[in-house]
Amino acid sequence: MARLCSFTMLSLDGCYADANGDMRWAHASDPEAKAFAAENAKSNGVLVFGRITYQMMASYWPTELAAKNDAAVAEGMNRMPKVVFSKTLRSAEWSGTTIASGELVGEVKKLKQGKLDLVVLGSGTLVGALAQAGLIDEYQLLVNPLVLGDGRRLFAGVTGMPRLALESTRRFENGNVFLRYRPG
């Protein structure tokens, strides 16, 4: 059975986007962060997105600019199969993308019956719904040392969330901290 992991960049106060949905604050890059992303892009699995994150990613990763700026990450993002959950998206131009428009929990349970692990990138609303359903096997959080004050919180509306057990941490020179949790 495949595992489902979520990877989310967060502000120190738990936001994955500011109040206007802007996430530029989360994408400041440095050599250490680029190496970390490149290493993650070597894995094999299925990338899972909500529509908004998918459209943002699809507008960048297949481009020449992405290949120039982050060749290893672009190769991985473009190589891996992708599933986008959307009720409104009718076509997907990013190579290797499947649109899932059925009921989220049932569709994810089917995906977890496969052989390839799944990773939700960003997609805060999707992560919240999957957390509520108890379907996430691992949470990876990259915490940026800034406070937005207001924004879209990762676990807004989630009730009865189980405690999480810390598996590992990594501190980056830029002050970011990577945290890996599993439901405990």
3-state secondary structure labels for all residues of the chain: CCCEEEEEEEECCCEEEECCCCCHHHHCCCHHHHHHHHHHHCCCCEEEEEHHHHHHHHCCCCCHHHHHHCHHHHHHHHHCCEEEECCCCCCCCCCCEEEECCCHHHHHHHHCCCCCCEEEECCHHHHHHHHHCCCCCEEEEEEECCCCCCEEECCCCCCCCCCEEEEEEEECCCCCEEEEEEEC
What CATH number has the domain bearing residue 92?
Answer: 3.40.430.10
| Structural domains counted in the chain | 1
pTM of the model: 0.92
Residue 28 pLDDT: 66
Q: Which domain holds residue 33?
A: 4-183
What is the chain's pLDDT, residue by residue, as a tens digit (184 residues)? Answer: 999 999 999 999 999 999 988 888 877 677 888 788 888 888 889 999 999 999 999 999 999 999 999 899 999 999 999 999 999 999 999 999 999 999 999 999 999 999 999 999 988 899 999 999 999 999 999 999 999 999 999 888 888 867 899 999 999 988 999 999 999 8
